[in-house]
């Protein structure tokens, strides 16, 4: 899955838009899944994409615009969207946890979203001393600390430059 944003065109009056390119190498097909407005109007660094452990869900987040989309990967449709608090100007990474939650990290915080509602269930600040953002955040990994993910204990590992 790859996120693409197309900037607005003054020449054609085309507004900004975005889509997720889906490529199936086993079956040999590609598909472009359009995302609803206002996708495409924000910064590329604010985009986070995560796939659920079972591959059935794809989440796309834009922390600059404050929106999240849940995509059904079987039907290749946007199942639902929700608004979340925007966070500026930090880069964004996302990871789907084994508990069915989406974890979205910026240089400022990690936000936990529920799958069924896309509502924010928790936020943990990542700020260092003097409220400086964590620089160069590149990847977020969510792993269960026990074999049974329902035990509710997870390790969040954020990597940076």
- The pLDDT tens digits for 19-69 are 999 999 899 999 999 999 888 888 888 888 999 888 999 999 988 888 899
- The pLDDT tens digits for 84-94 are 888 766 677 88
- Predicted confidence band of residue 140 (pLDDT cuts 50, 70, 90): low
Does residue 153 register a pLDDT over 80?
no
Does residue 128 register a pLDDT over 80?
no
10 Å CB burial of residue 161 (0-12, 13-18, 19+) is exposed
Q: What is the pTM of this model?
A: 0.75
Closest CA relative to residue 20, chosen from 87, 71, 93, 54: 71
Closest CA relative to residue 84, chosen from 114, 108, 107, 55: 114
């Amino acid at each position: 899955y790859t996120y693409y944003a197309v900037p607005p065109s003054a020449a054609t009056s085309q507004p900004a838009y975005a889509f997720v390119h889906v490529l199936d190498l086993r079956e040999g097909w590609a598909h472009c899944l359009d995302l609803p407005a206002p996708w495409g109007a924000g910064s590329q660094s604010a985009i986070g994409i995560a796939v659920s452990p079972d591959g059935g869900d794809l989440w796309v987040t834009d922390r600059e615009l404050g929106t999240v989309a849940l995509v059904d990967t079987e039907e290749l449709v946007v199942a639902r969207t929700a608004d979340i608090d925007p966070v500026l100007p930090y880069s964004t990474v996302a990871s789907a946890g084994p508990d069915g939650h989406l974890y979205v990290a910026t240089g400022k915080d990690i936000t936990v979203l529920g799958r069924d509602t896309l509502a924010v269930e928790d936020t943990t600040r990542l700020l260092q001393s003097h409220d400086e953002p964590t620089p160069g955040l590149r990847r977020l990994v969510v792993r269960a600390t026990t074999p049974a993910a329902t035990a509710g204990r997870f390790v969040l590992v954020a990597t940076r430059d």
